[in-house]
Structure 1
Amino acid sequence: MTSRSKRPAKTAGGAGRPRRRLRAGAVALRNRLLGVLVPLRGRRAAQLRYAAILDGQTVNLHAELPARAGLPERAEVVLQRGRRRYPGEARVHEGPAGEVLVDAAVLLGADVGGVPVGTGRWRLRLRVHTGRRSRTLPLLLLQPPVPYEGPTKPMTASPVTGERHRLGRSFRGSARVVSTAARPAVEVAKVHLTHAGVTVDFRVLGTRVEEPWVDFVASGRRIEQAVTALGPDGFRVTVPLGEMPPRGSRPDHWDVVLRDRDGRSMRLGRRLHDVRNPLRVFAMRNLAITPPGKAPLIVQPRYTPAGNFRVTCTRMPEAGRTD
């Protein structure tokens, strides 16, 4: 009998390698095409020197017009999707070498008083005006925004609505804004700690809840609390600290979960921010209390590294000592 050689076992990451190779090939092909198209389009297109959405809802642009465009009297940035077009004001000025530059800051979202963009891909163009004549130029994005390092980071969503906007580019290098709806989340707006209890105001984003309530959950324990509506999407919940002392010597970590009659559950937290360490930046004061008839404890509201809201209750060391 002849022995058959065994085939090497497939690794878990093997299935993803062809997709990664395809993506890498597509990126390389796009870069080669841009190397050909940009010089050709650069004669009749404005090139973006800078483009970013730093606060999650404002497009910041700095572009240079082609040399033959001259100095227009005024300009505007136009967001277009299908037949919908929304102009935004831009400022035209000359650079130190005589080049024509355009700056613009376009606020996105009708709820914040900005351009009423909906979900989808929106083309970015520049319209320049001189007298009664106007001309529309493509905006070329040569390099997409690069994330920076540090204690803060670019906002990935609007801090008001939770809608998500990012800059992208077409296969020919034209800039565009890609907008998506807010992800379902429960965002903490305010925390108030007293000797009687913890009160949390929060907003529900990206979804609607029917007959909601809040569960405080820790180590197999659960405290169910009713909520009070503060508006169409805002609520308030209060939990008495007298029900939260730890039963043993170890701390109890209470997670806070919003539930409703349809069976949905979502953790309360803070995610619409630009900090990398919410535990350190959004630190809250501790409070030492003595619930009636119970041992003293330390109450610490805080945020986990993932941004989830948590209340830690720790028995005070002196409470277990006897003279």
Structure 2
Amino acid sequence: MTSRTKSPATAGGRAGGPRRRLRARAAALRNRLMVGLFMPRRRKRTAQLHYAAILDGQTVNLHAQLPPSAGLPERAEIVLRRGRRRHPSEARVYEGPNGEALVDAAVLLGADVGGLPVTSGRWRIRLRLYSGRRSRTLSLLLLQPPVPYEGPTKPMEASPVTGERHRLGRSVRGSARVVSTGARAAVEVSKVHLTHAGVTVDFRVLGTGVDEPWAEFVASGRRIEQAVTPIGPGAFSVHVPLGQMTPRGGRPEHWDVVLRDRTGRSMRLGRRLHDVRNPLRVFAMRSMAITPSGHQPMIVQPRYTPAGNLRVTCTRMPEAG
């Protein structure tokens, strides 16, 4: 008589189904409470956001209308709060065309870019109003969460400078908040320079550290190890001679670039901190016909894959036979 055992993947997959359904039911109940109960009751005593978005990955853009009870304050500021930490940012308050009080704000996030020093976690967004010596604080009611738009570009998912990620969310009572997370471990290409001598790639390491790193240019059955040169904090440069990348057969050879270090970590080089939907088309780079010393002519084409990974394609010139 034989016994059957379930693999961890199978058991985990079956257990994940009920958990997903439970989370979905909890989210639906939360949304019903928010839209049907809390938000209608809070409309008259909160500032209502007519627009809220983070388009560049690091700036919160807000446009809100104050409740009639707030009058027209002399000045206003946005305050991000988490626990005992509070970070204020100036806002503009003015009178709208129908006499309503409106507030606009652009809040830059991240100490490294000169913005508010937010850390990972959920930050409540509050509006602080001042009239003379008096002040009051209002919640910002997010009636509709940001909706992704169509087109060749999209909202940035991360800061293009630091890689830190910020998104807008809502509490169960409908109040707006910013959810921040640290940068994901990645190697971001800053510049690709192609000459008749070789390919030079400048890049940044985000979200992690590297210990005695080096780069590898990898094609099918081939591997070229190259030293990297530090050019700034977390920034490096690598150069590979094109004489080492000449195709061995008649087919093109596609070289990917990988950063490795002595801990065994490996990360692909690419461009991911951008707002375009097709990096292959938008970040197109010129090809070059090159004849490395002692080798046959070839065409070298650096490019980005649809996933954003850097790839260098080397193709033997047809007339070279």
TM range (shorter): over 0.9
Structure-2 residue corresponding to 1:21: 21
In the TM superposition, residue 59 of structure 1 has moved relative to its aligned partner by 0.4
Between the aligned partners of 2:150 and 2:256, the Cα distance in structure 1 is: 30
**One-letter code of the match for 2:167?**
R
After superposition, what is the alpha-carbon deviation per residue over 1:2-41, rounded to whole angstroms, capped at 9, x for unaligned? xxxxxxxx9x987655344333323332232222211221
Match of 2:86 in 1: 85
Aligned counterparts of 1:28 and 1:241: Cα–Cα separation in 2: 57
Structure 2 CA distance, aligned partners of 1:242 and 1:14?
A: 53
Partners of 1:169 and 1:24 in 2: how far apart?
17
Distance 1:190 1:203 in 2: 10
What residue in structure 2 maps to residue 267 of structure 1?
268
Query: Alignment partner of 1:249: what SS?
Result: coil
Residues 191-240 of structure 1 show CA distances to partners (whole Å, capped at 9, x for unaligned) of: 11000000000000001111110000001101110111001201000000
Q: TM-score, normalised by structure 2?
A: 0.94
Identity score, percent: 81
Q: Check whether the contact 2:31–2:172 (CA below 8 A) recurs between aligned residues.
A: no
Match of 2:289, as an amino acid? A
SS of residue paired to 1:42: helix
Letter in 2 for 1:185: A
Secondary structure at the counterpart of residue 276 of structure 1: coil
Please name the residue that 2:311 is paired with.
310
Unaligned segments of structure 2, at least 5 residues: 1-9
Counterpart of 1:111? 112
Deviations 1:147-174 (A, max 9, x none): 1111001101000000000011111111
Structure 1: segments with no counterpart, 5+ residues? 1-9
Distance, in Å, in 2 between the alignment partners of 1:75 and 1:176 is: 18
4+ runs deviating over 6 angstroms: none
Q: Distance in 2 between matches of 1:235 and 1:99?
A: 53
Deviation digits for residues 229-271 of structure 1 (CA, Å, limit 9, x no counterpart) = 0012010000000110110010000000000111110000000
Equivalent residues in 2 for 1:1-323, closer than 5 Å: 17-34=17-34, 35-320=36-321
Computed over aligned residues only, the root mean square deviation of the Cα atoms, in angstroms, reads 1.6
Cα separation, 2, equivalents of 1:266 and 1:24: 34
Distance 1:71 1:208, change over 3 A: same
State the match for 1:4 in structure 2. none
Tell me, in whole angstroms, the C-alpha distance in 1 between the residues paired with 2:210 and 2:246.
30
CA distance in 1, matches of 2:138, 2:174: 13
CA distance in 1, matches of 2:294, 2:272: 38
> Partner amino acid for 2:31?
N
Amino acid at match of 1:74: R
What's the TM-score once normalised by structure 1's chain length? 0.93
